Structure 1
Amino acid sequence: MTLQEFILLLMSILTSVAGQFFLKMGAIKLGRVNMVNAINHILSIMTTPELLIGLTCYALSAVSYIMLLTRVNLSIAAPSTSLVYIFSVLLGYFIFREPIPLTRLAGISLVMSGVILLVWQK
């Protein structure tokens, strides 16, 4: 993977993680959805800045991923984007104070090991 390809991958991952962060912030602002307030929540999505920013980040992530796919095999690009899982768990831990159980930590380690093996070039 060249430096330009790595930068595109990193852009895709980071904008996806940013999208998840802003969607979570918007979801916290909306509060819990139930049958009584579901319609109101759906309408509120269009006016909640954090949710709009999160959706914009996802769009940017998709654009950078498409650009990456013009340069890299899908068999490398798709699994590499699983690094989003690692960054999302770390984001949840450091920003939202979500616990990381031992089993989740083991899973993250396996994902990271798998990505390293996929992009490893001799």
Structure 2
Amino acid sequence: MTPRECCLLLVSVMTSIAGQFFLKTGANKLGKFITENDITHINRIITIPELIIGLLFYALGALAYILLLTRVNLSIAAPSASLVYVFSVLLGYFVFKEPIPITRIVGLSLIIGGVILVVWKK
């Protein structure tokens, strides 16, 4: 990938991560979903600013990904976008104090290794 393509990928991944951050923050405000409060939760989604901001960040990430797809093959872009998983786990750990079990670390290492192999050019 060229530097410009790497930047598009980075923008796509980082805006998706920002979207996840805001969606998680908004979901925490929303509270736990149960079948008895389904309509209430659906109605409250549009009133919680963090959820709207999260969706907007996801939209920006999708736009950057579409632009990336105009420049690189899907077989490179899609696996590269899986870096969102890696950063999501780090976000969960550092911001939301979620644990990272060793099996998840192994899985994330495999994702990173796979992305390196997919984008590697001889």
What displacement does 1:111 show? 0.3
Counterpart of 1:82 in structure 2 is 82
Counterpart of 1:116 in structure 2 is 116
SS at match of 2:32: coil
Structure 2 Cα separation of the partners of residues 121 and 35 of structure 1: 50
Residue deviations 1:33-59 (CA, integer Å, cap 9, x gap): 111211101000111000000000000
Counterpart of 1:57 in structure 2 is 57
Q: Superposition RMSD on alpha carbons, in Å?
A: 0.5
Structure 1 stretches of 4+ with a deviation exceeding 2 A read: none
Structure 1 Cα separation of the partners of residues 22 and 93 of structure 2: 15
Structure 1 Cα separation of the partners of residues 23 and 69 of structure 2: 25
SS at match of 2:36: coil
1:34 paired with 2:26, answer: no
What displacement does 1:121 show? 1.1
Structure 2 Cα separation of the partners of residues 28 and 46 of structure 1: 14
Counterpart of 1:5 in structure 2 is 5
Number of aligned residues:
122
Report the AA paired with residue 28 of structure 1: N
Structure 2 Cα separation of the partners of residues 119 and 38 of structure 1: 43
SS at match of 1:37: helix
Report the AA paired with residue 114 of structure 1: G
Structure 1 Cα separation of the partners of residues 90 and 17 of structure 2: 10
SS at match of 1:121: coil
TM-score, normalised on structure 2? Answer: 0.99
Report the AA paired with residue 91 of structure 2: L
